[in-house]
Structure 1
């Protein structure tokens, strides 16, 4: 079992990596890191001394002063180097740099010099280094106006704002979970490369990305339709978009119910994709679920009875409660990385329709059981 520490553990990429490593407790032990360790040599040394692998992700992306960004990023890398020397560490150190290394700006310069400082430590101390040079990363829970233009556009389109394009250039992109998989594979393989150019998984114009996101807003956010998803990039972009919805105010969404003397008709879901549709009956007092997904798109629709649907984002304590009643049919969609359940809180059987975008596969279930 390898002991893995992540500087920047609570950042965008760091949190995804931390949570994904937690899915394989038989292979990895996570050594917790707090950003305050950089201000306390003994705490930093204690952290470094425990680690077989250190993934250095801590960095500043944006600030009104480029000089401050430069000094911060170079300073963080140097503090890590100093700790590695003090502890005589033989850890495999992986550092995230950026394709902006090639550009003439202080951010790119700070990333290059930080990577080179760790490469020099490895060369002088018989250490192990992997310098990841990474394209633009997008994904769920990125910080808008900071991590990525994708994060900014997703936030704006789910919060009543209108995105604008400053420069419609081509951007090389990688989804955060794709990057995490690369990092984990490098951890397993123990490869040593001072320069590891991470290949983008998509190259898109900014306007192409915005057009897709506008389509998601019109079809999904405004009308509840699952849009057509043509490839893995669009799947990942759609899940990214969904993560910016304010679930507290958006759900549950009531269906349009058409009634006449015969009874009622309700359209449960309109699809641009396939998937699996099922229904369940649940006796009073019983709870189903208590699991989460990292890629699946899922809808719970209550058509009869009374239900409590609960969601909790992994690594947080806040529980979102949604009360649904079959007399006013409604649905809640399950976001990725949120554990969820549904409980019959009424006195009659609960009828629920479930839709998920892929049929269940026991060998690749993407289902992780955690109590809400």
Structure 2
């Protein structure tokens, strides 16, 4: 069992790392609170318990750049002091940034923090991995703070008009891909250099990013279609976009019924990709689901009976609820990292059609059970 402490656990990368480690049996997360930095006794107890410390806590934005620099360097020094006073030698992963290469105080704070940790590791013969990380995007990023992708997604899904300030090329990595890299490093501490430039997985101009996201808005939000997604980058970008939707205002979406003397015809889904279609019948009072996915796109379509669909983002308490009725067939799409279920709340049999964008693979099901 590898005991991992994450500073900045509630931030963008920290949240994804914490959630991903929770899905693995060989990791245990050591609790950390930001207040520990101001309580040397608690900070010492924290570092004593850790086999690995991932230092993500940092200040990215502030009106005074000097405050950013002072804060970030100070947090590193607090950790090093606690490590030295307890003679603890965990494997330290430090999240730096390609901003190191630029002439600004944020980048300078990251570089200095990395160098300080490297000196501590060399002095104490400890494992240290300084990670130079490209631009990270993914679900639940904070707009106007974490990435331009988060900002564009928020603006497009909330009726705002994105503006491009500098149309440069961005080296990008999806947060899930970054977490995979970090876990590999934790599992193989002796195979990673002290300074490791995490490779980007895609490169895109800002204008191309915006164009792709505007296309998703048109096809998905306005036409209700699932677009063609040919690459992992396109799938990751689309899933990121979907997570910024105001779900309670967006769903459920009613289908258009074409009726005549024979009955009714309803088109369930238009898509530019394949996948798997299935249906279920559910007896009154029965609940299905209570699981979540980290990459799959899924649509629940109720065509007969009455259903309650519930969603809850993993790691949070807020439950979103939708009531669907087969008399007005409609659908709800499941965002990734949201555990979800469907319950028959009617008196007759519930008939639901499910579409998911990939075939079920028992060796890699991407299905994790958690009660909503």
**TM-score in terms of structure 2 length:** 0.98
Query: Which residue of structure 1 aligns with residue 130 of structure 2?
Result: 131
Which sits farther off after the overlay, 50-59 or 186-195? Answer: 186-195
User: Displacement, 1:261?
Assistant: 2.2
For residue 211 of structure 2, what is the aligned residue in structure 1? 211
* Superposed CA offset, 1:188-240 (max 9, x none): 00135221000000000011111110011001012210011010000000000
Superposition RMSD on alpha carbons, in Å? 0.8
User: Could you give the per-residue CA deviations for residues 302-360 of structure 1, whole angstroms, max 9, x where no partner exists?
Assistant: 00100000111111111111100001111000011111010111111111010000000
Distance 1:337 1:160 in 2: 24
Secondary structure of 2:82 counterpart:
helix
Counterpart of 2:318 in 1: which secondary structure?
A: coil
Are positions 1:259 and 2:288 aligned together?
no
Alignment deviations for residues 154-206 of structure 1 (CA, whole Å, 9 cap, x no partner)? 00011000111111110000000000000000000013522100000000001
> 1 CA distance for matches of 2:250 and 2:47?
43
1:279 aligned onto 2:279:
yes
Q: Which residue of the partner structure matches residue 249 of structure 2? A: 249
Q: Equivalences for 1:162-311 in 2 at 5 Å?
A: 162-191=161-190, 192-311=192-311
The 1-side partners of 2:222 and 2:41 are apart by: 53
- Is 2:86 aligned against 1:87? yes
Select between 262-271 and 144-153 the one with higher mean Cα deviation. Answer: 262-271
| Equivalent-residue separation in structure 2 for 1:17 and 1:92 (angstroms) | 16
Matched residue SS, 2:194 = strand
Give me the whole-angstrom Cα distance separating, in 1, the residues matched to 2:60 and 2:273: 36
1:161 is aligned to 2:168: no
Question: Which ranges of 4 or more aligned residues in structure 1 deviate by more than 4 Å?
Answer: none
Structure 2: any 5+ residue segments left out of the alignment? none
Unaligned runs of 5+ in 1: none
Structure 2 equivalent of residue 150 of structure 1: 149
Secondary structure in 1 aligned to 2:258? strand
Q: How many residues end up aligned between the 2 structures?
A: 371
SS in 2 for 1:193: coil
Which residue in 2 is equivalent to 1:328? 328
Moved more, 360-369 or 73-82: 73-82
Counterparts of 2:5 and 2:224 in 1: how far apart (Å)? Answer: 41
**Deviation at 1:66?**
1.1
- Most deviating of 133-142 and 265-274: 265-274
- Taking the aligned partners of 1:130 and 1:28, their CA distance within structure 2 comes to 18
Q: Distance in 1 between matches of 2:16 and 2:220?
A: 25
1:260 deviates by: 2.0
- Give the match for residue 34 of structure 2: 35
1: CA distance, partners of 2:321 / 2:177: 31
Cα deviation, residue 100, structure 1: 1.1
Q: How does 1:37-52 map to 2 (within 5 A)?
A: 37-52=36-51
Shift of 1:262: 2.0
* Counterpart for residue 350 of structure 1: 350
* Cα distance between partner residues in 1 of 2:46 and 2:247: 37
What aligned pairs does 1:111-122 form with structure 2 within 5 A after superposition? 111-122=110-121
How far the C-alpha of 1:39 sits from its partner, in A, is 1.1
TM-score, with length taken from structure 1: 0.98
